[in-house]
Chain A
């Protein structure tokens, strides 16, 4: 089923929880709503579910306007962060509850519950109550409950936030695989950019109720359109430096005290003559080298595969990822080389990218 949001707005008093959101989700697509807490992503999800009524704008499922349709008639399945299982029912009763309400014949109900339970590996838990299950098991039951009614649309509200790190990783893969196999359109709300990047076909980044970007994950990562996206997506986060770009002898340079970085012509010319701009570069695009910009190692954080090196250049700090075999030590003088093909440039006032629109 296709989902379309047109100028969707939700206002609480004077606060816009969702502000003029336009986006389209294709049939079978997996879309993530990504943003910090309070950005309006859960509100948007609940608008789609029908729990909240929009202040303005329209929600369309395929071509049908859903604004006035109550949640129970939208045929959606939802998985909550708190699992929201019915504590007074057994796992089996939880699984069949949505089907019971739809007056599914008992035989079909039993068969579907059995199949879903098997698929999720909770077949042996059917007689237990939610209170007797671990967090991971509860999450599976919640997922199962959303699936047994065979919804047209699956909604996830930070479903993995309450799980421990290892379980989160395996559930992530499992949910993605399940969604792919079943081909159900899915919307996944998360504040974890890794989850959004790894699972979604497209990511909608939100901030203060507004849609900042809506594009595939790699585009989000390689061509961030705003300063916010650049800073929010990617771990460890992008370095930002205030620089001035000038042209000297036909070459563009990004300059600040103790810092002189030649830029490629296509990037440099977008920022030249604008006065102060913000240069962004990811730690993996900054390398410790034999020559280049000089700085002093301030902190070394071993991450296992790499060391995250905090290098002080004049009055700014730049994070670089280095091979642990280099054995950088605090106080060392090092040289940094930048991958100039991956440099981002932003207007400090509008916070928009100077490279991508």
Chain B
């Protein structure tokens, strides 16, 4: 009896695994193809071939942009600045706004919550023209407009401007996410901190924020990845090659007048994926640890 049950469940697991494998294969094949094609002159299915159609033709030619095109490092750095700037902005503003919306009763709170949700659902493409005018106006502000180091400023044709726009579009989600996490922190802990001698500000920083570290990590991952991968907004508002990002660089490869070298496109795409994978690997571990091995509190 027990044996048969065991057999039955083993069969069930086997069938389940088989089904999952079949469903996963198309996705896996895609990745495998990208990997193979970046090291091949051409591919025939998953098999690398050379120009005359013979099996072989392995090459590093497709990766040559790494050492031949100095632009790739510039646009990578720009993407990194964009992703990090966006992450910092989203985390800082969301964690403060989320706390206020979760904990403090002020006039207009409900309206604010409702509006942010609507804004989140709003398609950003429709705003492109309007934002263009805003950014052009900002660009005319001295210093802040286009004379800041690293991000270039907050105006049109600067990384800072793109960060600003993306920040605005990301915030509704971030604020709601953070509010949800703050809602789950017990009031008693906050009260205890206030009674123990913390100011409201210090309570937020030293007592409440450590409780929602997993939430902050999740938000940071989302923001970083969307900043790193974003195409539309940097492509629209940055015309200067020196300010461009990696997604726009990838697009340039596709739309040049010369025939498209898909193997090179795949190589750049893979290259773009590396930091995201690394970032995800580290933060994911963080996410899972939650509190068991959290860092030390106090000052």
Contacts and interface: CB of A to CB of B under 8 A. Distances in A.
Interface stretch (A28-36, A70-78, A175-183, A272-280): A70-78
Contact of B186 (A49, A70, A84): A84
Interface in B164-209: 186, 188-189, 191-199, 202, 207
Nearest to B294: A88
A200 B228 CA distance: 63
B194 A87 contact: no
A71 B194 contact: yes
B243 interface: no
Given A86-B189, A87-B291, A88-B210, A77 B195 contact: yes
A110 interface: no
Interface stretch (A94-102, A309-317, A328-336): A94-102
A69 to B, nearest CB: 12
Contacts of A76: 195
A107 B10 CA distance: 63
A259 interface: no
Contacts of A74: 195
A106 to B, nearest CB: 13
B298 interface: yes
Residues of A in contact with B, size category: 20 to 34
A93 B296 contact: yes
Given A80-B188, A131-B291, A89 B296 contact: yes
A89 B191 contact: no
Chain A CB within 10 Å, residue with most, of B188, B199, B211: B188
B188 to A, nearest CB: 4
A229 to B, nearest CB: 29
A84 B194 contact: no
B52 interface: no
B298 A89 contact: yes
Contacts of B296: 88-90, 93
B25 to A, nearest CB: 43
Contacts of A131: 291-292
Interface residues of chain A: helix, strand, loop or mixed (majority): loop
A80 B191 contact: yes
Given A86-B297, A89-B296, A97-B298, A78 B191 contact: yes
Contact of A51 (B189, B191, B294): B191
B297 A98 contact: no
Given A51-B191, A78-B191, A88 B196 contact: no
Contacts of B199: 70, 72
A84 B298 contact: no
B297 A93 contact: yes
Interface in A96-136: 97-98, 100-102, 129, 131
Contacts of B195: 49-51, 71-72, 74, 76-78, 155
A212 interface: no
A97 B291 contact: no
Contacts of B193: 86
A7 interface: no
Interface in A153-207: 155
B191 A84 contact: yes
A10 interface: no
A149 B188 contact: no
Contacts of A72: 194-199
A244 B44 CA distance: 105
A76 B192 CA distance: 10
Contacts of B211: 87-88
Contacts of B126: none
Given A72-B199, A101-B198, A84 B297 contact: no
Residue among A49, A51, A89, A97 with the most chain B CB within 10 A?
A: A97
Interface of B: 186, 188-189, 191-199, 202, 207, 210-211, 291-292, 294-299
Given A70-B199, A88-B294, A101-B198, 4 more contacts: A51-B191, A72-B195, A85-B189, A101-B197
14 contacts: A50-B194, A72-B194, A80-B188, A80-B192, A84-B189, A84-B191, A86-B189, A87-B211, A88-B291, A88-B294, A93-B298, A100-B299, A101-B198, A149-B197
